[in-house]
């Protein structure tokens, strides 16, 4: 056989590579959470996902976790679609509306982001569920300390990041995600998502004492709304780093790889270059003219008029009723050619 032909076939094989071999629960779970947009309840303890034996045990030990997973799934998808609605990639799980080009077939920049996003969302949802009492098994422990004349007390259960991190890794079966280079990359992206939530933690305190003297303070940790972290998440998407596989292309869930990928702690890591996303942005609506320059890939845009009706000039009438006028505004709408 001609050497050039053999080389060409080998190159085509590499280009068509997909994440193959043994599929760890981490990979399967995150893919299913994004791909299945239904609210179907699956058999078993986890309900939101088709849990493995290990995952089912985690759900049984943590009553209410199935509802928390549903919350995490919905808030991750909604936050992603809102954050990327004016980008070339709009958080779709297929590229260029082609069912044969799925985001999860390879480890693209977008794949790395979705792994981090779902891990962050589960961490956030668990932390909030501990604070609300929806989850009972949490790591919150009250403590008392003193600083000068002020006594402070960490009381009750705030947004429990530690339990969020622990349960996220447990339900995604983090330990068994593989020690090969692919497994390392996926676990790294999950860790980046979890740590992004850690960076959002803020201490909130309430003073107690006569006449507002603040002799005692009650303090707890609080996370903001999940959407508040999307700015940092999106920044990490744009600054993700491409790494090359050093050896085997197939998954090795149990065996360790001697060729590790170099990873940066706060940067997402991906392996394959994303397809050209310009082909299917025709007809997309821009946020404004400046956004069209990027979204429309240099093809230009058409301007149309859009009529917006809204309530305005609202005022209280007869003590208990709000009365508003109806305002009509005509605005420009920009559509990619």
Instruction: Report pLDDT for 94.
Output: 92
Whether the pLDDT of residue 282 is over 90: the answer is yes
All residues at 6 or more sequence positions from 226 whose CB lies less than 8 Å from its CB, including other chains: 75, 76, 79, 120, 121, 124, 125
Question: Looking at the domain assignment, is residue 258 inside a domain?
Answer: yes
Confidence of residue 327 (pLDDT cuts 50, 70, 90): very high
* pLDDT, averaged across the chain: 83
159 and 234 share one domain:
yes
For residue 207, what are the β-bridge partners? Answer: 217
45 and 187 share one domain:
yes
Question: Looking at the domain assignment, is residue 26 inside a domain?
Answer: yes
Residue 6 has, within 13 A of its CA and on its CB side, a CA count of: 3
Let me know how long the chain is: 337
Helix (H, G, I), strand (E, B) or coil at 47: coil
Number of domains in the chain: 2
* pLDDT tens-digit map of 5-49: 444 433 343 344 455 434 588 999 999 999 888 877 888 889 888
Q: What is the mean pLDDT of residues 224-232?
A: 92
> Domain boundary residue among 233, 260, 280?
280
* pLDDT tens-digit map of 187-217: 999 999 999 999 999 888 888 777 667 778 7
CB 155 within 8 A of CB 218: yes
> Domain boundary residue among 242, 259, 280?
280
Q: How far is CA 254 from CA 51, 156, 179, 184, 233, in A?
A: 20, 40, 6, 12, 30
Instruction: Report pLDDT for 2.
Output: 54
All residues at 6 or more sequence positions from 148 whose CB lies less than 8 Å from its CB, including other chains: none
**Could you count the other beta carbons within 10 Å of the beta carbon of residue 316?**
9
Question: Looking at the domain assignment, is residue 2 inside a domain?
Answer: no
267 and 306 share one domain:
no
CATH of residue 310's domain is 3.30.2460.20
Question: Looking at the domain assignment, is residue 88 inside a domain?
Answer: yes
Q: Which domain holds residue 257?
A: 10-280
């Amino acid at each position: 056989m001609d050497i050039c032909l053999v080389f060409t076939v080998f190159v085509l094989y590499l280009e068509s590579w997909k994440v193959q071999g043994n599929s760890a629960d981490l990979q399967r779970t995150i893919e299913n959470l994004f791909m299945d947009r239904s609210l179907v309840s699956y058999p078993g303890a986890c309900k939101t996902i088709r849990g493995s034996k290990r995952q089912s045990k985690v759900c049984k030990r943590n009553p209410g976790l199935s509802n928390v997973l549903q919350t995490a799934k919905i808030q991750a998808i909604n936050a992603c679609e809102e954050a990327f609605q004016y980008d070339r990639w709009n958080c779709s799980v297929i590229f260029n509306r082609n069912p044969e080009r799925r985001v999860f077939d390879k480890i693209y920049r977008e794949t790395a982001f979705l792994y981090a996003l779902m891990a962050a969302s589960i961490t956030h949802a668990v932390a909030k569920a501990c604070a609300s009492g929806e989850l009972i098994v949490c790591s919150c422990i009250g403590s008392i300390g003193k600083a000068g004349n002020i006594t402070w007390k960490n009381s009750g259960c705030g947004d429990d990041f530690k339990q969020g991190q622990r349960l996220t890794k447990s339900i995604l079966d983090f330990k068994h995600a593989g020690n090969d280079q692919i497994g390392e990359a996926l676990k790294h992206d999950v860790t980046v998502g979890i740590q992004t939530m850690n960076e959002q933690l803020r201490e909130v305190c309430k003073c107690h004492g006569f006449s507002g003297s603040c002799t005692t303070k009650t303090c707890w940790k609080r996370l903001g709304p999940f959407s508040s972290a999307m700015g940092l998440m999106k920044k990490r998407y744009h600054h993700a780093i491409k790494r090359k596989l050093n050896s085997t292309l197939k998954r090795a869930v149990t065996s360790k790889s001697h060729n590790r990928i170099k990873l940066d702690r706060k940067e997402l890591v991906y392996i394959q270059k994303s397809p050209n996303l310009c082909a299917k942005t025709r007809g997309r609506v821009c946020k404004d003219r400046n956004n069209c320059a990027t979204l429309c890939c240099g093809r230009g845009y058409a301007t149309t008029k859009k009529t917006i009706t809204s309530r305005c000039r609202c005022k209280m009438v007869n003590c208990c009723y709000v009365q508003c006028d109806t305002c009509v505004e005509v605005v420009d709408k920009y559509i990619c050619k």
